[in-house]
């Protein structure tokens, strides 16, 4: 496990105070959960990103709050749509002996039979929810598609029995499907529609800049 991330408690929630924190390289945050009262804190953005690279998005993080080390996971975060910076983070304190529900990314493994025949791999849903102990949280949930034919779909029901994790997501939740290859006519129509959508609209009555 990585070195504990230091945090500092914060008293005010005014916009100016939050902006000042972010300008100093801190992320306004909150920690709550197991044996922990909801506490507004701030953590170094650089330290958090470094730790996430080490343990992964769902990894367990050691967070120091008022001299006390907590085992936490990054439960949620808000991201700046333009810059990609983390604007706010929610940390959930956890009991390492108790299972918790987490969302993990679905990772497709292998090349399907249908893909080799010209089919198109489609992944309508990219995450599943599993129940697992914090120390056993996987970086991703692997789904083998090597035997998938054109027109076939893999749902949660198809992988539930073979999974070593308890899957919370419903059985009919589709993870991957192989659609039939597009005809040349369909591809030409798609390209024509895309070209029309990308065309610059004519502006009527636009004044020239002075």
Q: Domains in the chain, ordered, with CATH?
A: 5-95 (2.40.240.10), 101-198 (2.170.120.20)
pLDDT at 69: 93
**79 pLDDT exceeds 90?**
no
Average pLDDT of span 119-138:
94
φ, ψ for residue 186, nearest 5 deg: -65, -40
- Choose among 104, 102, 155, 100: nearest CA to 127: 104
- pLDDT, one tens digit per residue, over 20-39 is 899 999 999 999 999 999 99
Cβ atoms 25, 58 nearer than 8 A: no
Average pLDDT, the chain: 87
Residue 57 confidence class, pLDDT cut points 50, 70, 90: confident
Mean pLDDT of 112-137: 94
Tens-digit pLDDT profile for residues 81-106: 788 789 999 999 999 999 999 999 99
State the pLDDT at residue 85.
83
Q: What is the SS3 assignment for 146?
A: coil
**Residues 121, 122, 127, 130: is their CA dihedral positive or negative?**
negative
Provide the 3-class DSSP secondary structure of residue 117.
coil
Q: Given pLDDT bands bounded at 50, 70 and 90, which one contains residue 200?
A: low
Q: Looking at per-residue confidence, does 206 or 2 come out higher?
A: 2
CB burial of residue 15 (10 Å; 0-12, 13-18, 19+): exposed
Q: What percent of the chain has pLDDT over 90?
A: 67
Does position 50 have pLDDT exceeding 70, yes or no?
Answer: yes
| pLDDT of the residue at 193 | 63
């Amino acid at each position: 496990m990585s070195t504990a991330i230091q945090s500092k408690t914060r008293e005010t929630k005014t916009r100016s105070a939050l902006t000042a924190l972010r300008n100093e390289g801190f992320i306004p945050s909150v920690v709550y959960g197991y044996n922990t009262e909801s506490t507004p804190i701030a953590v170094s953005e650089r330290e958090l990103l470094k730790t996430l690279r080490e343990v992964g998005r769902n990894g367990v993080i050691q967070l120091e709050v008022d001299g006390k080390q907590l085992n936490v996971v990054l439960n949620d975060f808000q991201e700046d749509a333009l810059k990609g910076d983390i604007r706010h983070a929610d940390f959930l304190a956890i009991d390492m002996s108790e299972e918790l529900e987490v969302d993990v990314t679905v990772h497709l493994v292998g090349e399907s039979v249908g893909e080799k025949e010209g089919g198109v791999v489609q992944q309508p849903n990219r995450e599943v929810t599993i129940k697992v102990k914090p120390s056993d949280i996987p970086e991703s949930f692997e789904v083998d598609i090597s035997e998938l034919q054109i027109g076939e779909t893999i749902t949660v029901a198809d992988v539930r029995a073979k999974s070593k994790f308890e899957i919370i997501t419903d059985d009919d939740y589709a993870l991957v499907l192989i659609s039939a290859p597009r005809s040349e006519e369909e591809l030409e129509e798609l390209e024509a529609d895309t070209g029309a959508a990308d065309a610059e609209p004519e502006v009527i009555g636009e004044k020239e800049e002075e």
